[in-house]
Structure 1
Amino acid sequence: MDYFTALRVFLRASQVRSFSGVAAELGMEVSTVSRHISRLEADLAVALFNRTTRGLHLTEAGGLLQARASRIMADLDHAREEVTLHNASPQGLLRINVPGCFGRRHVMPHMAAFLADFPDIRADVMLTDTTVDLIESGTDVAIRIGALPDSTLVARRLATQSRMVVGTPAYIARAGRPETPDDLRAHSCLLFTLHCGNAWYYRPDGATDTPFEKLPVTGLLKANESEALLDATLQGIGLALLPDWLTGPYLRQGRLVRVLADFEWVLAPGAERAIWAVYPPKKVVAPKVRSFIHFMSRRFRDPLYWDPS
């Protein structure tokens, strides 16, 4: 007996409640449908249906088999789909959501190479600093930066991220170089509007078991975007707490100087801070999504190309 075919016939019969209806739907003779059910019943030594002139009705045993068989056949279908997609060519429209500043500097410069590697993919890239609901917006994959909130999204870390206190040589010559975190209270510290509270947090570098200390700071300017804070810092308005992926080139060029490098700095304490690829949970991840994540993880692998050292 072809058990899988018999189970499929049984499941359709349990829904259609008619052997003739199942036969028409599956392109079989009614006698073939009846034979599949009879062989299942003989194998299990139970009646699966009560047959009346008004149709088929599941017995108690039939109801138990329907519940288990439905899960088994769904798992089988998912397994077949996953194996089929594993070797499928990445293709179709890939909707990507990326933070604006990071996207302009570290995603868009790689898109030509990505599309050349996967010529059957078309990309729709949305650059925004607003957290978008991936499911409602139909987004396939997003890049998120920082500590991830608890959610049902699947996350893969693409790269580490750290923040550093930086300023221009001219500003430091004018205002003095801070030697301790408390020295920052006397400096113009440029603040990120999207993080509530006029404070930065710090602890000794490498002291992962030590809680962060809160340091109230003030400054001449706030902005809601990292590039704006970078521009203000380059103009010598003050010191800023900026991510390494943004400051690297300017540190190498000597246009910015890092201070208080013996401390780990964050805008707010919390979970692990990194650069993540996130996507909606699915039993089977589309090849186009897998390809994008793998491509970006290779571009961002250690040592990170933006690392000033």
Structure 2
Amino acid sequence: MDYYAAVRAFLSAADTLSFSKTAQQLEIKASTVSRQIAQLEAELGIALFNRSTRGLVLTEGGTVFREHAQLSIQALDEARHITSSLNTAAQGHLRVTMPVSFGRRHVIRHLSRFLEQYPDITVDAILSDEIINLIDSGIDLAVRIGALPDSQLMARKLAEHRRIVCASPAYIAKHGAPARPEDLASHEALRFALATDDKWLLVPKTAKGAVRGEVTVRLHGRLRANDTEAILDLAIAGSGVALLPNWSVNQALQAGELVHLLEDWQVQAGRTPGGVWAVYPPKKTVSSKVRAFVDFYAGIFSTPGYWSA
């Protein structure tokens, strides 16, 4: 007996209460349906249907078996679909949103290579610093930076999100470099206008890389901006001390336009650790195009030395 086929025939018959209609649905003979269900009943040792001239009626045993068999068949179908999709060529139209600065620096620059690798995918790249509702906007995927709020969305971390205290050589020559976190309170801090407060949290690093203790510094300064690139430009221009993500500041550090300050301290803008995330609506099976994009950029961002390149 083909147990899988027999259970499918039973479930169809339980819905239609007719062997002939089941045969039409499954495109097999009614006699085959009757034989499969008879074999299933013999295997289970219980009648699944009461048969009469009026048709079929589920027995108590049939009702119980139907309830559990539906769940099992659904799980098996899903397992087959997920497994077979692993061998399906990534294709389709992908709509992805990302923060403007990060998107320009670290997504758009690699997009041509992604399209070369996946010729059957087309992409809408939507650069916006607004948090777009993915489901309402028909967005397949979002790249988001920082700490993720609780939501029903699925997420995969693509990279760590580290911040660096820095200032230009000209600023340091004029105002000096802070020797300890508390010194930041007397400096011109370039603050992010959308932050919930004007505080930085600093934790000292040990020789082994672990951290312990912390210092919270309240910031002062006359300049605020709501854009990472704007704060970077202001810092390079010598307007103050900035807390910038490593993904935006490394080139300026290597070029000598900025100097890394308080290197023995790990710095963050809040208590919740951040990251670079791929976020997408919850589905039983992640589409091949979304999985391809996430795997591609996770591979790039995990390349040794990428964030200091």
Q: Is the 8 A contact 1:212 1:269 kept in 2?
A: no
Report what 1:254 is aligned to.
256
Contact 1:201–1:265 (Cα < 8 Å) also in 2: yes
State how far apart, in whole Å, the 2-side matches of 1:286 and 1:276 are: 17
Q: Which amino acid aligns with 1:265?
A: V
The residue aligned with 1:83 is 83
Matches within 5 A, 1:46-61: 46-61=46-61
Is 2:274 aligned against 1:268? Answer: no
Task: Report the AA paired with residue 279 of structure 2.
Answer: V
The aligned residue for residue 299 of structure 1 is 300
Amino acid paired to 1:228: A
SS at match of 1:88: coil
Please name the residue that 2:283 is paired with. 282
Q: CA RMSD in A?
A: 1.9
Distance (whole Å) between structure 1 residues aligned to residue 299 and residue 30 of structure 2: 56
- Which stretches in structure 1 are left out of the alignment for 5+ residues? none
Task: Show the counterpart of 1:7.
Answer: 7
Native 8 Å contact 1:143 1:277 kept in 2 = yes
Q: Give the stretch that moved more between structures: 285-294 or 112-121.
A: 285-294
C-alpha distance in 2 between matches for 1:88 and 1:280: 20
Within a 5 Å distance, the mapping from 1:125-144 to structure 2 comes to 125-144=125-144
DSSP-derived class of the 1:306 partner = helix
Q: 5 Å matches for 1:1-309?
A: 1-206=1-206, 208=210, 210=212, 212-270=214-272, 272-307=273-308
How far off its partner does 1:54 sit? 4.6
* Alignment gaps of 5+ in structure 2: none
Per-residue CA deviation, residues 2-38 of structure 1 (Å, 9 max, x unaligned), is: 2111111111111122222212222233232222222
Separation of aligned partners in 2, 1:158 and 1:35: 54
For residues 218 and 52 of structure 1, the distance between their equivalents in structure 2, rounded to whole angstroms, comes to 86
CA shift for structure 1 position 104: 0.6
Deviations 1:197-221 (A, max 9, x none): 1111111025755354321111111
Q: Shift in Å at residue 289 of structure 1?
A: 2.0
Amino acid paired to 1:290: R
Rounded to whole Å, the distance in 2 between the matches of 1:14 and 1:211 is: 65
Structure 1: distance between partners of 2:33 and 2:46? 17
- The one-character-per-residue Cα deviations of 1:25-78 (angstroms, maximum 9, x if unpaired) are 222332322222222112211111233455433222112211221111112211
150-159 or 179-188: which moved more? 150-159
Counterpart contact for 1:167–1:257, Cα < 8 Å: yes
Alpha-carbon distance between aligned partners in 2 of 1:189 and 1:293, rounded to the nearest angstrom: 35
Q: Which segment is superposed worse, 112-121 or 202-211?
A: 202-211
Distance 2:12 2:67 in 1: 13
Q: Give % identity.
A: 45
Task: Classify the secondary structure of the residue corresponding to 1:125.
Answer: strand
Distance 1:209 1:165 in 2: 17
